[in-house]
A and B are shown apart, each in its own frame.
Chain A
C-alpha cells in the first residue's frame, strides 16, 4: 500500500483505537473503581468489615480475570448481540473489553488504596468521620497519584486488547495491522500500524508517570 493511502488509514484507525480504548476504560473504571473500594473497605480490619462479602467478591473477580480476552470475546458473543444489537464492529468490542477490564481495574484500585497508611484512616475515624467521608475525603484523595499510575497501566493493557478487535470485525490499528498487513503480507502496513500503537502506549505511559509525579506530595 502506498504511503498516500496508508497515512489517512493510520490516522482514522488510530482514532478508532483511542475511541475503543478510552470508552472501554471509562466504563470499566465506573464499575471497577467502586468494586476496588469495596474490596478494601469490607476487609476484616477495615472500616466496613464484611468478610463473607469480601471473599465472594474477590472470588468472582479472580474468576473473571482468569478468562483470556479472546475466549471472553467468543463467550460473550450472544450477550453482546443482545445488548449492543450486533456482535460485530467497533462498538460491539467495547462490551467484552469492559467485562474483561473491570475485574483487572478493581484489583489495580485495591492495590492503590492499600498503599494508604492505615494510621491515616484511623486518624480520620478518631475525628468522627463517617465511612463515606473516609472514602471520599481520605482514602481516594490520598491514593490519587497511585490511582493515576494504575490508570495508565490499565489503559495500555486495554489498548493491547483492542488489537484483537479484528477477530470481532472491529477496527483500529490492531485490526489494520492484521487484516491489511499480516494477511496480505504488506509489511509496511503491519509495521507502521504497530509503530503507531507503540507510540500511543509510550505517550500514555509517559503522561501517566509525569502526572503521578506532579500530583504526589508525599515524596519531596
Chain B
C-alpha cells in the first residue's frame, strides 16, 4: 500500500482509479481537529475512596491496599502510619466502619479491610522505627498528655512527628488505657500492644506511669506546658441501682477485666451472671468463661439492640455463653453477705427511647430467681470528674469546641471523655485532630480553614499527611494532597468490569483451645487469603492504569504519559464524547464543562 501523505490537509481525488477500495483516510487525519466539537472535557481525578473517608482515622486504605498489591509492604505500612500509629491494634479490635462504606459491600461483600490491616502490620518489620526525617523541625515546645489510652498516645505520636517534646502521664502501672486493662489478651495480645507503644517511646515520647494527675501530681504543675491534652477515658462503671449491690461477689465488669489483664489474683465464680449488652459485658463474660465458669448474660432488650460488636456476641454464644434477652435485674440475692443469686424480671419491647432503641417494659409478676455466685455489672461507664481539673462538662462529656479545645486555657480533650463514639479508632482520630489543633496554635494557622483543606470526604475524617505536606513540610508530593473533594459513590463503579468473589474468612482457634487459655482467637489471614482480598479492591476513584480509557477513546486522544504514571488527553482531538469516563471501571475520571472564552 502506498505510503500515505503526511500532509495535515484533506486530500481530494479526481477520479475513481485513485480511490482506495474502501473508505479510508488518505492522509493522516491530523488535520481534523475533532477537539473543536467538544463542549464537555474529560479529566483524571484522584477521588476520595469510600474506605478512606469511612475510616474515622482518615487512613488512605486504598493507598496502602494498592502498595500491598504491588508487594511494597514497608511503604504500605509507612503510608498507613501517617494517619494511625497503631495498625497492629486497630487491625485486631477496630469495628471497621470503613467496611460499611466500602463500595464492594454494595456489590457482594466489602473488602476485608480490617483483616488486611492486621495482615500488613503482622507481615512487616516488627522493629518499625520512626525515621528522623519524618520528625519536623523542633518547635521547642512541650506538651503534656494526661492518659495513655489510644487517644493520648495518638496525640503524642503525631505531636512528636510535628516537632514537639511530649510527656505522657498515666495513672496505671503500664500504658495503653483500655487496650491494656480492658480488652482481653485473646483479642489483643499484650506483647503486640507493647511493641506498638515502644515505637513511640524509642522515638522520644516520654511516658510516666503511676502518675495520676490530680493526685500524684497536680494539674497546676502542668501550667508551663505549651498545651495539655486530656484523654483520661471513661472508667467509672455505672451502678446497677438494685438492692444488695454491695455484697461480696458483685463487681464491675471493667474492674474484673482490669484485674485479669494485670494478672492480679482474682476469684471467678462457678456460676457467673453478667449484666449488660456492650463490649465490656461480652469481654467480661468471655473472660469468665475461660476461667471455667458457667456464664449467663442478662440484657434488658434483645440481641438486636445490643451495642456490642456483632462478632463479639457471636463468639460469646459459640463459646457456650447463654444470653437471656428481655431480662431486668431486680435484686441481688444474698446469704451470709455473699451473692447466691439474682432476682430478675421479664420485659417486653415498647416505644423507642431517645437513643432510638425500643424501650424494655417490665412484665408484672414475671419475676424469678437465678442461682449464681458472681455478678459482673457492665451497663456502661461514665467519666470520672474526680480525675479531671475544673472544666466545663456538658451532658456527661467534657465540653470541646471544633478544635477540641476545652473551657480551660491551653487544654484540649479527646477520646471517650468527649462526645464521640467510644471506639479505639475514634480515640486515635481525636488524638490526631488535637495534635493538629495544637500545632495550628503554634503556627498561627486558622484551624477551621485548615480543616477544610485536610478533610477527607464528608464524614469528618482528616488527613495528617495532607496537613504535614501542606503546612509543615510544604512539599506537595503525595497524590493524597491532590485529593479531590468528591467521595466516590458506590453506584458510580462500573461493575460490569468486576466479578463477584468470596471474601476471605480468617481462621480461628478451635473452641476447645479457648477454654482455660488466653490464646489469640483470630489467627489472621494467610498469604493467599490476603492476596484474594487485596485483589477484590475496586480502587474506587483512583486510576490504576487499566488502559480502558486508552482503549476506548474513539479519537486516539488518550496516550500514556511519557515518563511516569497516568495518561495525557490530547485536547486537539478529544471530542468530548465521554466514553472514557463511562468505561472507567472505578470512577477515576470526570467530565466538566468547557469554560467559555
- Say whether A associates with B: no
